[in-house]
Homo-oligomer: A and B are copies of this chain.
Amino acid sequence: MNNHPNPALGNISTPAAVIDLDRMRRNVQRMQSKVSALGVRFRPHVKTSKCLEVTRVQMEAGATGITVSTLKEAEQFFAAGITDILYAVGMAPGKLGQAHALIRRGCDLKILTDSVASANAIAAYGRDHGVTFNVLIEIDTDDHRSGIKPESAELIEVGRALAQPGGRIAGVMTHAGSSYDLNTPQALQAMAEAERAGCVRAADRLRAAGYACDMVSVGSTPTALSATNEDGVTEIRAGVYVFFDLVMHNVGVCALSDIALSVLTTVIGHQREKGWAIVDAGWMAMSRDRGTQRQSNDFGYGQVCDAGGTPIPGYSISGANQEHGIVSRTGTPDPDIAARFPVGTLLRILPNHACATGAQFPEYHVVSAGGQAATWPRFYGW
């Protein structure tokens, strides 16, 4: 086992979030090339990393704006000089003041609604405060969460509400999050087409009703990588592709060797009779995400790799407490677990869900084949 391939790793206190920079750059290039070939703009979702340095790599590769999941993300990235920001969670009326403050400072912030009630609240605030909000209408193209169905009468009603002074229809957006439940190229391609067709149809209906609808924004990592035609779409969004993870591996859109985020951990004990090694990465480090539980390959709380990041087949984190992870072999217990992974051994764990695992850490430790090492801060909270 190549236990110290990067001298920097030995100096990091465990557990720690490690980014393989070469893999991350490859993932960024792959997505940008794919989206560019489809002839549309790319707007990465930065909720995955919440890290300026990661986002800079995405912008330098060709992204033309960002997607955020919280106004805190908008504030942090705007402060760093990124102005074209889509806040892709339905607007709570109580947050309009926070959004307004960003717009006043020059942020080209787009907000989101999927109801007449919320659209009315947005326009009313805008009228009262002398601001015109650019608002996207959320479209539901896969029946999984929020949004208005493309054929719904409510779509035009929301358009009408937004056309009041204080509001402006900036466009439509959809996110086929249920693509995470698929695992064949055919199904993913069909979902990408449903996402495109539904969102374009909603835009067409708004236009037919007399409303402008400039932006047609679609995307999720699986559909973005599976789409073959984006006619009528103006931009694609995707987030988790920057790191990838075990869920995406099971969906079929990345190899294990593409996963750029892992958790560095140390073996702290054993239960020999059970074939367990205990490591210092529990659920506080891995997160409680068990996204692979319902998929074809259940990786527990993560796939065990050696310290160089090479997967050790059959070994996963099979159980987790707050600061304890249980490493075991699938099937028959490993009677030699204590010899295989002695106390003090460094391992790296690939996560189920990069967004959830990254969120547990104040910073990323960045390593590359060239041996460079850096620490990139990330933020959290709202």
Which residues of A are at the interface with B, using a C-beta cutoff of 8 A?
13-16, 47, 69-70, 89-95, 98, 113-115, 117-118, 121, 138, 140, 145-146, 177, 266-271, 278, 280, 283-285, 287-290, 319, 321-324, 326, 338, 342-344, 355-356, 359-363, 380-382
Contacts of A344 in B (CB 8 A): 92-94, 117, 121
Q: Which of B47, B90, B287, B321 contacts A268 (CB 8 A)?
A: B90
Contacts of A321 in B (CB 8 A): 145, 177
Q: Which of A89, A92, A138, A381 has the most CB of B within 10 A?
A: A92
> In the complex, are the beta carbons of A323 and B268 less than 8 A apart?
no
Q: How far is the CB of A197 from chain B (nearest CB, A)?
A: 21
Q: Which of B145, B288, B355 contacts A289 (CB 8 A)?
A: B288
Q: How far is the CB of A304 from chain B (nearest CB, A)?
A: 17
Q: Which of A94, A95, A324, A363 has the most CB of B within 10 A?
A: A94
Q: Give the residue name and chain of the B residue nearest to A361 (CB).
A: B381
Contacts of A114 in B (CB 8 A): 269
Q: How far is the CB of A148 from chain B (nearest CB, A)?
A: 10
**Given that A92-B14, A94-B13 are contacting pairs, would A324 and B145 also be in contact in the complex, using a CB cutoff of 8 Å?**
yes
> In the complex, are the beta carbons of B92 and A268 less than 8 A apart?
yes
Task: Give Cα A91 to B280, complex, Å.
Answer: 9
Task: Give Cα A90 to B276, complex, Å.
Answer: 14
Q: Which of B13, B284, B338, B362 contacts A359 (CB 8 A)?
A: B284
Task: Give Cα A269 to B92, complex, Å.
Answer: 9
Q: Give the residue name and chain of the B residue nearest to A69 (CB).
A: B323
Q: Which of B14, B94, B285 contacts A14 (CB 8 A)?
A: B94
Q: How far is the CB of A44 from chain B (nearest CB, A)?
A: 15
Q: Which of B146, B283, B343 contacts A93 (CB 8 A)?
A: B343
Contacts of A323 in B (CB 8 A): 47, 69-70, 89
Q: How far is the CB of A75 from chain B (nearest CB, A)?
A: 11
Q: Give the residue name and chain of the B residue nearest to A175 (CB).
A: B321
Q: Give the residue name and chain of the B residue nearest to A287 (CB).
A: B288
Q: How far is the CB of A122 from chain B (nearest CB, A)?
A: 10
> In the complex, are the beta carbons of B324 and A89 less than 8 A apart?
yes
Task: Give Cα A361 to B177, complex, Å.
Answer: 25
Q: How far is the CB of A13 from chain B (nearest CB, A)?
A: 6
> In the complex, are the beta carbons of B359 and A117 less than 8 A apart?
no
> In the complex, are the beta carbons of B288 and A16 less than 8 A apart?
no
Q: How far is the CB of A370 from chain B (nearest CB, A)?
A: 25
Task: Give Cα A266 to B382, complex, Å.
Answer: 13
Task: Give Cα A113 to B290, complex, Å.
Answer: 29
Q: How far is the CB of A293 from chain B (nearest CB, A)?
A: 10
> In the complex, are the beta carbons of A283 and B115 less than 8 A apart?
no
Q: Give the residue name and chain of the B residue nearest to A319 (CB).
A: B145
> In the complex, are the beta carbons of A356 and B283 less than 8 A apart?
yes
Q: How far is the CB of A154 from chain B (nearest CB, A)?
A: 9
> In the complex, are the beta carbons of A269 and B359 less than 8 A apart?
no
Q: Which 8 A-B pairs have the closest CB atoms?
A: A288-B288, A90-B268, A362-B381, A92-B266, A117-B343, A90-B269, A69-B323, A288-B289
Q: Give the residue name and chain of the B residue nearest to A68 (CB).
A: B323
Contacts of A118 in B (CB 8 A): 268-269, 343
Q: How far is the CB of A311 from chain B (nearest CB, A)?
A: 22
> In the complex, are the beta carbons of B343 and A121 less than 8 A apart?
yes
Task: Given contact pairs A145-B326, A288-B290, enumerate 8 new A-B contacts (beta carbons under 8 Å).
Answer: A90-B268, A114-B269, A115-B269, A117-B342, A117-B344, A283-B289, A361-B381, A362-B380
Q: Give the residue name and chain of the B residue nearest to A290 (CB).
A: B288
Q: How far is the CB of A341 from chain B (nearest CB, A)?
A: 11
